[in-house]
Amino acid sequence: MPQKNYTPHYEHLKNKWTEKHRGLQRRLWEKHKDSLEWFAKQTHHLAAGSLAGLLFLASPSGMTTRPTPSVQVLDESIDKSAFLISDLQNNLPKDVRPLLSEEEDRIGGILTERYGFHVTAEFEGKKLNRSYGLIGAEQHLMRYPGDTMATHFATAEEVGKYTSSGMAPGRGAWGYFANSQAEMTEQDSMREKYYIAVQTFLTPGYNENVREYSQFFKYRKMLVVNPQNGHAVIAVIGDAGPAEWTGKHLGGSPEVMKHLERVDGSQRGPVLYYFVDDPGDTIPLGPVNVK
Amino acid sequence: MKTYFYSHIIETESLIVEIEKMGLSDEQKTHLIGLIESNLHHVILDAILSELSTEDKKKFLEHVAREKHEEIWGLLRNKVDNIEEKIKKAADDLKRELHEDIKEVKEKD
């Protein structure tokens, strides 16, 4: 019998069991919160991601990847992050591959619910070549003509954290963020700080409508999530890349990579990246927590 | 499939067989089986934690995190009467619900 006929069965069970799962998560946390919080706090190498790993070992995909170790200070949102990680582990495939349409929708729903604003893999009829892929490290971009590593950072702390990433020799795909240092706004600065590079050139329909697609993607706001630790940032598409041969699917600015706790090279890992539906431009760029 | 400390006393085959009969894609089957496993994991953790003192909960969580199955069972058998039966009961109650859910969708044909 054709598989399609059984999809309603799947949808029904998936929805019912996902709801049940959330109820069980909630109950477990409410009943044993003190012990679970103690556990996360007393093992300094375990934070939100690892707590989720402890509690939610079962993964439908058989995924054995452990959450990324973190030294972040625990806060009250730890339980919420753990739930997010669990939900994502329960819905992501074992391999880092393009998500199926139904997977994209399901995960988009989870992210929308957990973060409290609407995200989607397809926006205004356009979508990227993928919404789940391996992220690599990008360099800082020149924000205006003459911007250098000496002028790039606002604080000594930033210098310490991000100087080693260096600055890309050329401009981003859309040129400078501002015409000059004097004209640079806070928005320009934040866009460079929290940017990702995506493979716009591989998106369906791009080659037939380069101008239209280029304008659409320029500084388009996106939610980027590390599914293994629940860290997320709101970023803009600030550059095009990386090339297909790199094996990477997108790149993140030094600040994005730092917050997501993602690294390049052999230890690189996957992220989810979805369009943020923010018509009023009210959602600020930078790190974002589950609600 | 990953082996958990309770895998030897909890069977999920009866549910998996029912899922297999539904003619779903591999992705769909994998997802539903994952939800079964994860739901079971939660009720089993809840059943165990509900039987332990605060101090023993901490020891248990540490053992689970490090996947020290022998230590887990050593602790549980020492601290909780009939722990295997309690785990099985919690799992069976949930499995019964899940079987009912499957039966319900099949009856819609």
pLDDT at residue A225 in the model: 97
Determine the distance in angstroms separating the CA of B3 from the nearest CA of chain A, rounded to an integer: 10
Q: Which CATH superfamily is domain A95-288 in?
A: RlpA-like domain (2.40.40.10)
Looking at the partner chain, which of B1, B36, B42 has a beta carbon nearest the beta carbon of A28? B42
**pTM for the predicted model, two decimal places:** 0.64
Looking at the partner chain, which of A7, A20, A55 has a beta carbon nearest the beta carbon of B45? A55
B33 touches A at CB < 8 Å: yes
pLDDT at A267 over 70: yes
- A242 touches A136 (CB < 8 A): yes
Residue A5 DSSP label = G
For the packed helices A7-42 and B54-65, what is the interaxial angle rounded to 10 degrees? 110
Q: Letter for the amino acid at A181?
A: Q
pLDDT digits (tens, 9 = 90+) for A121-178: 999 999 999 999 999 999 999 999 999 888 898 888 888 888 888 888 878 899 999 9
- A284 touches A221 (CB < 8 A): no
- Where do we find the tokens 């058998």? B77
Between these two residues, A227 and A73, which has the higher pLDDT value?
A: A227
Residues 126-155 of chain A whose Cβ lies under 8 A from any Cβ of chain B:
none
pLDDT digits (tens, 9 = 90+) for A7-51: 788 888 988 888 888 788 878 888 888 888 777 666 544 444 455
Q: Taking CB atoms and an 8 Å cutoff, what residues of chain A touch B56?
A: none
Max distance between CA atoms of chain B, in angstroms, equals: 51
Burial of B6 (0-12, 13-18, 19+ CB in 10 A): buried
pLDDT at residue A130 in the model: 97
pLDDT digits (tens, 9 = 90+) for A204-260: 999 999 999 999 999 999 999 999 889 999 999 999 999 999 999 999 999 999 999
Looking at the partner chain, which of B4, B24, B31 has a beta carbon nearest the beta carbon of A6? B24
Distance, CA of A242 to CA of A137 (rounded, Å): 10
- A253 touches A265 (CB < 8 A): no
How crowded is residue A100: how many other Cβ atoms within 10 Å of its Cβ?
Answer: 12
Beta bridge partners of A198: A240, A250
Instruction: Specify the domain boundaries for CATH 2.40.40.10 within chain A.
Output: 95-288
Q: Which of B2, B31, B60 to mutate to test the interface with A (most CBs of A within 10 A)?
A: B31
E-assigned strand segments in A87-162: 119-120, 122-123, 126-127, 132-137
Beta bridge partners of A133: A271
B105 touches A at CB < 8 Å: yes
- Alpha-carbon distances of A52 from A96, B1, B72, rounded to whole Å: 20, 19, 19
Query: Which residues touch B97 (CB under 8 Å, ≥6 apart)?
Result: A20
Q: How far is residue A45 CA from its own chain's centroid?
A: 22
Are A103 and B105 inside 8 Å of each other by CB? no
Residues 44-83 of chain A whose Cβ lies under 8 A from any Cβ of chain B:
46, 50, 53-62, 64
Contacts by residues B80-83 (CB-CB < 8 Å, ≥ 24 positions apart):
B80/B48, B80/B51, B80/B52, B83/B48, B83/B51
A21 touches B at CB < 8 Å: yes
